[in-house]
Amino acid sequence: MMKKGYEKYIPFVPLKMEHRAWPDKQITKAPIWCSVDLRDGNQALVDPMNLQEKLEYFHTLVDIGVKEIEIGFPSASETEYEICRELIDGGHIPDDVTIQVLVQARPHLIQKTFEAIRGAKHVILHFYNSTSTLQRKVVFHTDVAGVKQIAVDAAKLIYELSQSAIEEGMDLRYQYSPESFMGTEMDVAVEICQAVIETIHATPEKKIILNLPTTVENCMPNYLADEIEYFISHLKSRDCAIISLHPHNDRGCGVATAEMGVLAGAERIEATLFGNGERTGNVDLVTLAMNLYTQGVDPELDFSHIDAIKDMYERCTKMKVGERQPYVGELVFTAFSGSHQDAINKGFQYMEQSGTDMWEVPYLPIDPTDLGREYEPIRINSQSGKGGAAFIMHHKFGYDLPKAMHAEFGAIVQKESDRLGKELHPQQIYDLFDREYLSVPKTYQLERHSFQEDARHGEQSWVIFDGEVGYKGKVMAAHGEGNGPIDAFFNALHDLPEGRLDGYEFVDYKEHAISSGSDTQAVCYIHLKAPDGRDVFGVGKSHNINRASLRAILCAVNRAVLEK
């Protein structure tokens, strides 16, 4: 039993809102994205990235299409300073990308930050101080006026210091974060941000970014959305600000917080790849972007090679992306459940047959190929159904098993997975198929054959089979006639002098071509009813279509006699 430890926690007190507009809104365009991987993400790593790793990461973000990138905290350490200088002096920053640098609202750090950004073309200078009731009480031992003064003093200094940089041609913008925004009384947050807007001379033409962080996520996302809506509607100089969010993920709701915050009027989101960041991380940029994508909204970011991005991320951060991480985890385009596998299969068939332009596959919210991934790894374990193994055989190896055969082969695969107590990989499934059908022990074997077709019977042709069939090592002459090659051979087997195949009924037949490289062969599937009423299937493959069907018949027969 858990102790009553929960009693020591102070619940979040939501705003009292009479009316709220955000629940009826829809997201119809991507927000401005800002990556904080190289700052918030980096500072949360066991081993922060070195210069080479940061550069590689930076270039990946640029390739993805992120236009605002927080590159670090250059006043915090020499390493951070040098990385900032290398990005600028080394010419790594494309003209359409703005770098962002973070600094605490403290004069000497602000001075140092201006030195660090010298010569950069487009910069967002991001300053912050904590404004929450808790931090005022336990960290700063000050009141609202005290934290407001810190913000205003910093804004004043930044404005003064920026004039020469702007004169020298830098496109310099400002960003202010009332850190721990969610734990700040809304009227206090509005008052401090309004004072910053005025001190820094923000205008509708030169807007300040007001970044409202959920520094520690401490309430449900709908409460945050209420706060954002309240904040925006009470800010006098709303038209002088871009409202940005910076969600962390302590309650696991970072994505919902960001999405609902956008509904409430936020225009910009700070996020990291795969949600790296302090504690439970920052909000995940990939999930946010791809959530928009699957709602028919252009995220304006390119994640079409998600595995390469994941590799870069894991290499540079030494972190691991979880197997169930949305859109990228190893298992997210995999179905183990039989009913899911069948439905996915049907979805693919529907897409193919209907020619629809829309994505309509159950259990797959996104086309994996849009991320450079494949659905092919349908995974087969003892929970998997009959459709899964058939899907692998079709999509991985080109064998399009007839529907009636799915159950039989599915059961064979399931039995093997149960026996081994683990998942079967595609090659193991193929090996089972080969062992069961293509390489079945040959009690009966076709040694030689010829067909003669007599077309004198008008519409219907008449085919005569002549050949030799081996039975338990003994070769016998075989002769049969029928309305086609299969029928003729089947009848020949009925009349063998030894090992007569009495009582087998022909049920169905399917064939298709199968290619590997420049080699194309015919594959034939035969469905027979054995004398004891069992359904038996056989598979034959050959460059010659007739031979493929004869092999399929013998395969079915050989399997039937083997099972007896």
Measured from the CB atom, is 190 or 488 closer to ligand KIV?
190
Distance in Å, CB of 17 to ligand KIV, minimum: 24
Structure token digits, residue 17: 């809102």
Instruction: Give the closest residue to 310 by CA, choosing from 284, 336, 279, 334.
Output: 284
Which residue lies nearer to ligand KIV by CB, 217 or 416?
A: 217
Distance CA 179, CA 174 (A): 15
Instruction: Work out how close the CB of 199 gets to ligand KIV at its nearest, in angstroms, rounded to a whole number.
Output: 19
Chain-centroid distance, C-alpha 544:
43
Q: Which does 549 bind (CB under 5 to 8 A by kind): ligand KIV, Zn ion, none?
A: none
Q: 3-class DSSP state for residue 472?
A: coil
**Residue 40 makes contact with Zn ion by CB under 5 A:** yes
Stretch that binds Zn ion, among 32-40, 74-82, 93-101, 439-447 (CB under 5 A): 32-40
Report the nearest approach of Zn ion to the CB of residue 355 (Å): 47
Binding-site partner at residue 179 among Zn ion, ligand KIV, none, CB < 5 to 8 Å by type: ligand KIV
Describe the crossing of helices 144-167 and 186-199 by its angle, rounded to 10 degrees: 30
Give least dist CB 377 to Zn ion, A: 35
Tell me how far apart the alpha carbons of residues 564 and 557 are, in angstroms, rounded to a whole number.
11
Amino acid residing at 83: I
- Binding residues for ligand KIV, rule: CB under 6 A, are 40, 102, 128, 177, 179, 211, 213, 215, 246, 248
Residues sharing a CB contact under 8 Å with residue 369, sequence separation 6 or more, in sequence order: none
Cβ distance 37 to 29 under 8 Å?
Answer: no
Which C-beta is closer to ligand KIV: that of 61 or that of 245? Answer: 245
User: Nearest distance from residue 207's CB to ligand KIV, in Å?
Assistant: 18
Name the residue nearer to ligand KIV (CB basis): 181 or 333: 181
Pairing of strands 474-482, 505-516: unpaired
How far apart are CB 289 and Zn ion at their closest, in Å? Answer: 19
| SS3 labels along 102-167 | EEECCHHHHHHHHHHCCCCCEEEEEEEEECCHHHHHHHHCCCHHHHHHHHHHHHHHHHHHHHHHHH
**Least CB distance from residue 43 to ligand KIV, whole Å?**
9
Tell me which stretch binds Zn ion (CB under 5 A): 37-45, 75-83, 372-380, 525-533.
37-45
**Which among ligand KIV, Zn ion, none contacts residue 446 (Cβ within 5 to 8 A by kind)?**
none
Residue that has been written with the tokens 């959305």 in this structure = 225
Closest CB to ligand KIV among 209 and 493? 209
Choose among Zn ion, ligand KIV, none what residue 177 binds, the Cβ cut-off being 5 to 8 Å by kind: ligand KIV
H helix runs in 168-220, sequence order? 186-199
Would you say 216 or 392 has its CB closer to ligand KIV?
Answer: 216
Q: Which residues bind Zn ion (CB under 5 A)?
A: 40
